[in-house]
Each structure stands twice: as structure tokens, then as C-alpha cells.
Amino acid sequence: MARLTDSPARSAPLVVGLVTLLLSAGCGGPGTGQGLDENGDPLTTTAQTTPAAPAGGAAASGNPNATLTWVQTNVFGGICAQCHIGGGAPLGLDWSTQAHTCANVRPVPRLSSEIPTMHEIESGNPAASYMIWKVQGAGPNGEPIVGGQMPLGQTPLPAATIKNLRDWIADGAPGC
């Protein structure tokens, strides 16, 4: 049996295969609950449960979780980026970093690939933000989405998490 140190050329396919397996496992299968705690809420740390108020005082919603840091850590980076990362992200939509998330908001909001008449995030208007439709599974009046509800094949986001996202967008997507 060959050891990894025997020949880099021989071990390369093994290493590539292991990396591919690890990366694809991050997207989880139906009902895995990956990225969620035992109650189905996004995983958080102590620092994330007591976030600082946005610069310049509290945002209009008054929601302390309506910050880029909170939504990036607990939703976009913590859940969405399990699949939506890098050049191969589904529909080219990368949520892996604050910079990528903000590129979907400003300077020109990114149009949805699935419903090109909508923006992924319409700053100040969560009801017109297709990303909100995708995590809710429908538009505010039951309008259909294209494809499946996000996160695809996993437990839907809890209502409190969606509220934090909606408040962040309603507050003008502060931090971007």
C-alpha cells in the first residue's frame, strides 16, 4: 500500500478526492441540520449573542442583530456559504465573506439570476429582496420562487433569523 509520502504524483488523486469529499459534505443533505443548533437556530458564540450597536447608534429597527456582522456570521457565512462560495457558487452567488455579501448590495444591487426583475438584496426593502423570498419559500403575498427554498435540502431558517435578515435589509443593509 502506498503512503502519502511515497510519491506526490501518486497521492495527488487521493488528496484531491479527500478535499472534494470534505467540501461537498459541507452542503449537507436533506435534514442534516448542519450549521444549526439542537433547536434549529443558527450556531452562535457568546460574542454574537450580544452584538454591539451599529456605528452611529441603533438602527431604525432597534434590532441588535440587524447588523452585517450578525447576518454574515449566522446566516450568509455560517449557512449559505456551505454551498454559495467561490467561483463555482450556485448561480455565481457567493455569500462567503462580508465583501461578497456587500457586493450583492452596493454599489449596484445584484439582479437575481432566477427572477431578473428583482434584486437579491434591495436595501431598505426586504419585501422586494429575492434572497428573503428564497429563505421564506415564497414572496410576501405567496409569489412563487424559482427552485427550492434556502437553505436547499436543510431545515428552513427559524422565523427569528429571517426577522434579523429582514430588519438588516429594512435598516438599509448597514455595514455595506
Q: What is the pLDDT of residues 72-87, one digit of tens each?
A: 999 999 999 999 999 8
| CA atoms of 78 and 157, how far apart (whole Å) | 12
Q: What is the pTM of this model?
A: 0.68
* pLDDT computed for residue 24 by the predictor: 37
φ, ψ of residue 135 in degrees (nearest 5)? -80, -25
- Residue whose C-alpha cell reads 437553505 in the numeric block: 151
Half-sphere exposure of 20 (CA within 13 A, CB side): 6
59 falls in which pLDDT band (50, 70, 90)? low
Q: Measuring CA to CA, which residue among 19, 68, 41 is closest to residue 171?
A: 68
Asked whether the predicted pLDDT for residue 58 surpasses 50, the reply is yes
Q: What is the pLDDT of residues 97-150, one digit of tens each?
A: 999 999 988 888 899 999 999 999 999 999 999 999 999 999 999 999 999 999
| CA atoms of 35 and 159, how far apart (whole Å) | 16
Collapse the DSSP code of 119 into the 3-class scheme (helix H, G, I; strand E, B; otherwise coil) and give the result. strand
- Burial label, 97 (beta-carbon count in 10 A; 0-12, 13-18, 19+): middle
- The amino acid at residue 159 is A
Asked whether the predicted pLDDT for residue 32 surpasses 90, the reply is no
